[in-house]
Chains A and B, each alone.
Chain A
Amino acid sequence: DTAVSQTPKYLVTQMGNDKSIKCEQNLGHDTMYWYKQDSKKFLKIMFSYNNKELIINETVPNRFSPKSPDKAHLNLHINSLELGDSAVYFCASRDRGVRSYYTFGSGTRLTVV
């Protein structure tokens, strides 16, 4: 059983397209996150959702929008993709009552051509 699953694992798309990455967790956690890992492997938080409420929104372009249909899912929509959006995107989750043990998905490698 995969605790945090992301789809797709790889995504290649052209500049200007709109794409989505899906994330699901079966851990019963109530907080989910999106992180971006750039080509130098630097991991930076993008968004956090807690009980369908956006908690953290770092300096991310508004072309990126998280959508959470329920507590177990946090999808990432990206509009008008740019070359600089190429990166690995990780979904993660955590139990708000336990400020530890973030669990990460295996990542989605997005390549914009």
Chain B
Amino acid sequence: QQQVKQSPQSLIVQKGGISIINCAYENTAFDYFPWYQQFPGKGPALLIAIRPDVSEKKEGRFTISFNKSAKQFSLHIMDSQPGDSATYFCAASGVRGGGADGLTFGKGTHLIIQP
């Protein structure tokens, strides 16, 4: 059972456009929702994260929108640039097993920004 569902699988956006990636989760125990960016041959790197007590968080061109009642959250990349071309993963975590927890990832979105 996949606990974090991510869409779309791939996305092509023109330079300067807005890239939008959506995720939905099932486990109401999740209380931390990060987005990771991964370039080929590299490990995932934290981009931005949100907790369920706020509905939106913005850092530069990246914004997370969070809807707790719908159990959904999304990443918006404004003014998308070719350097943003990468694979993006949403994730979620919550307390389980002794107070430590790991990340449950979505399946990833391959984003291509066309010049």
Chain B residues within 8 Å of A101, by CB: 46
Nearest residue (CB) in B for A99 is B32
Nearest residue (CB) in B for A45 is B102
- Restricting to A40-84, which residues have a CB under 8 Å from any CB of B? 40-45, 48, 50, 53, 55-56
Min Cβ gap A27→B in Å is 13
Interface of B is mostly: loop
Q: Is the CB of B102 within 8 A of A40?
A: no
With an 8 Å Cβ cutoff, the count of chain A residues facing the other chain is 27
Interface of A is mostly: strand
In the bound assembly, the distance between CA atoms of A3 and B43 in angstroms comes to 12
Q: Is the CB of B100 within 8 A of A45?
A: no
With an 8 Å Cβ cutoff, the count of chain B residues facing the other chain is 29
Q: Is the CB of A45 within 8 A of B103?
A: yes
Min Cβ gap A38→B in Å is 10
In the bound assembly, the distance between CA atoms of A99 and B94 in angstroms comes to 8
20 sample A-B contacts, Cβ–Cβ < 8 Å, listed by A number: A31-B100, A35-B102, A35-B103, A40-B107, A43-B44, A43-B89, A45-B102, A45-B103, A50-B100, A55-B100, A56-B102, A92-B43, A99-B32, A99-B93, A99-B95, A102-B46, A103-B46, A105-B43, A107-B41, A107-B42
| Residues of B bordering A, CB below 8 Å | 31-32, 34, 36, 38, 41-46, 49, 87, 89, 93, 95-105, 107-108, 110
